[in-house]
């Protein structure tokens, strides 16, 4: 195969052609894709003919799979596949990195399009390494020494009177096991050595600071992550798969399609325990995720 990798933006994203991801890949091809992922952070593939089994087989080229989610049910008969379905109320229209509330969040995520609305429904993916590089030196020094507590049980800032029974049930399910984990605000990528801002929606508090102080600092740093220059805005087409590096990106599902059907399937690859610039590893405060993921070797 002749792999062609074409940048989508200057900062993040590339379209990959010349690879049939529905077939087993040789080591050389996997190595080339891993290098492309290291460089571009998010890769877009044609996934024509790919089903859940094929998506899982493709993701396994990069490591052992997690189960679908620590608390949310998988696709029936496919315990490693999470349905991302507008009709199931799973429009993740907030900036986040997948499952950072556990000790070892996924290293990579794959999203495959099944049903696409006629307009809207884009996925935004942000380069957290570029965000770190953009920080002024005083902010970079501050961020280097910070740790943040990530949790799945937090204030969604939605008035209770605006939540119906179905939404309340989904929220109760999502928080049925409470997880709290301390991660470095600046994470060192284990393969590239790059530093990236490891925050996002599940990062709720800076260790050692008050809630108000934490929110001020997190909002300040997050503003660098979501600068337009750091973002890939992926407009979905039918039968596409996007692979992104969950260790050094954030993403956001844009809820701009009038509630029309939109369904993706997500499969994630088990990750390592994050490490800060001083070599210190993250630590778990609450919640056992052993049923969700093992710790990756790398």
Please answer whether residues 248 and 125 qualify as being in contact, where contact means their C-beta atoms are separated by less than 8 angstroms: no
Task: Supply the pLDDT for residue 171.
Answer: 79
- Residue 298 in domain: no
The per-residue pLDDT for 293 is 93
In 10 A of CB 109, how many CB atoms?
26
Taking only the tens place, the pLDDT of each residue in 208-264 is 999 999 999 999 999 999 999 999 999 999 999 999 999 999 999 999 999 999 999
pTM: 0.94
Domain with residue 53: its CATH number is 3.60.130.10
Active site residue 20: no
Please state, rounded to an integer, the average pLDDT across all residues of the chain: 93
d(CA 130, CA 274): 18
- For the cut 60, the answer to whether the pLDDT of residue 152 exceeds it is yes
What percent of the chain has a predicted confidence (pLDDT) above 70?
94
Query: For residue 91, what pLDDT is reported?
Result: 59
Q: Is residue 249 part of a domain?
A: yes
Estimate the share of the chain in helix, then strand, then coil, as percent rounded to the nearest 5.
25, 30, 50
Average pLDDT, stretch 182-196?
98
pLDDT tens digits, 6-43: 999 999 999 999 999 999 999 999 999 999 999 999 99
265 carries an active-site annotation: no
What does the alpha-carbon distance between residue 261 and residue 255 come to, in Å, rounded to a whole number?
A: 11
**Which pair of structure tokens corresponds to residue 88?**
């199931």
Could you count the other beta carbons within 10 Å of the beta carbon of residue 245? 32
Q: How far apart are the first and last CA of the chain?
A: 28
Residue 221 is predicted with a pLDDT of 98
Residue 140 has pLDDT above 50, yes or no: yes
How many whole angstroms separate alpha carbon 129 and alpha carbon 131? 5
Percent of the chain scoring above 90 in pLDDT? 86
Q: What is the structure's pLDDT at 92?
A: 72
pLDDT of residue 269: 98
Return the HEC string of the chain.
CCCEEEECCCCCCEEEECCCCCCCCCHHHHHHHHHHHHHHCEEEEECCCCCHHHHHHHHHCCCCECCCCCCCCCECCECCCEEEEHHHCCCCCCCECCCCCCCCCCCEEEEEEEECCCCCCCEEEEEHHHHHHHCCHHHHHHHHCCEEEEECCCCCCCCHHHCCHHHHHHHHHHCCCCCEEEEECEEECCCCCCEEECCCCCEEEECCCCHHHHHHHHHHHHHHHCCHHHEEEECCCCCEEEEEECCCEEEEECCCCCCCCCEEEEEEECCCCCECCCCCECEEEECCCCCCCCCCCC
Which pLDDT band holds residue 93 (cuts at 50, 70, 90)?
confident
What confidence score (pLDDT) does residue 297 get? 63
Res 161: pLDDT: 55
User: Which of the four pLDDT bands, split at 50, 70 and 90, describes residue 157?
Assistant: very low
- How far apart are alpha carbons 194 and 188 in whole angstroms? 6
Distance CA 234, CA 253 (A): 10
Mean pLDDT of 279-296: 94
Structural domain count, the chain: 1
Residue 292 lies in a domain: no
Please identify which of the residues 189, 205, 251, 262 carries the catalytic annotation.
251
Q: Is residue 58 part of a domain?
A: yes
On whether residue 295 sits in a domain, the answer given is no
Mean pLDDT of 46-60: 98
Go through the chain and tell me how many residues it has. 298
CA distance 180 to 175: 11
Q: Is 291 inside a domain boundary?
A: no
Mean pLDDT of 266-293: 97
Each residue's pLDDT tens digit, 63-86: 999 999 999 999 999 999 999 988
DSSP 32-52: HHHHHHHHHSEEEEE-TT--H
Parent domain of 113: 4-286
CA distance 147 to 197: 11
Q: How confident is the model at residue 160 (pLDDT cuts 50, 70, 90)?
A: low
More confident position, 2 or 82:
82
- Residue 150's pLDDT is 98
Catalytic pick from 96, 112, 189, 262?
96
Exactly one of 40, 69, 90, 98 is catalytic; name it. Answer: 98
For residues 142-161, average pLDDT: 80
Q: Could you tell me if residue 101 is inside a domain?
A: yes
The residue-averaged pLDDT of 80-106 equals 88
């Amino acid at each position: 195969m002749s792999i062609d990798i074409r940048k989508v933006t200057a900062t993040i994203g590339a379209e990959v052609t010349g690879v049939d991801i529905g077939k087993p890949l040789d080591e050389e091809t996997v190595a080339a894709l891993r290098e492309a992922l290291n460089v571009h952070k998010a890769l877009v593939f044609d996934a024509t003919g790919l089903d859940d089994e094929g998506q899982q087989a493709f993701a396994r080229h990069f490591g052992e799979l997690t189960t679908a989610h620590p608390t949310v049910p998988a696709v029936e008969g496919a315990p490693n596949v999470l349905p991302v379905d507008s009709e199931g109320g799973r429009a993740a229209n907030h900036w986040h990195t997948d499952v950072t509330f556990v000790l070892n969040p996924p290293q990579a995520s794959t999203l495959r399009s099944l049903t696409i609305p006629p307009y809207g429904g884009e996925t935004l993916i942000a380069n957290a390494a570029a965000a770190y590089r953009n920080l002024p030196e005083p902010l970079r020094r501050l961020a280097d020494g910070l740790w943040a507590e990530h949790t799945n049980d937090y204030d969604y800032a939605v008035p209770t009177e605006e939540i119906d029974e179905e939404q309340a049930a989904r929220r109760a399910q999502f928080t049925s096991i409470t997880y709290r984990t301390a991660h470095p605000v600046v994470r060192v990528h284990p393969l590239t050595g790059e530093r990236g801002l490891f925050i996002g929606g599940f990062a709720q508090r800076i260790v050692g600071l008050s809630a108000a102080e934490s929110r001020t600092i997190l909002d300040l740093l997050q503003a660098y992550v979501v600068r337009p220059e750091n973002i890939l805005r992926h407009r979905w087409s039918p039968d596409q798969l996007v692979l992104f590096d969950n260790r050094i990106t954030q993403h956001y599902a844009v809820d701009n399609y009038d509630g029309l059907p939109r369904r993706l399937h997500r499969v994630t690859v088990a990750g390592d325990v994050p490490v800060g610039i001083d070599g210190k590893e993250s630590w778990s405060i609450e919640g056992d995720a052993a049923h969700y993921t093992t710790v990756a070797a790398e």
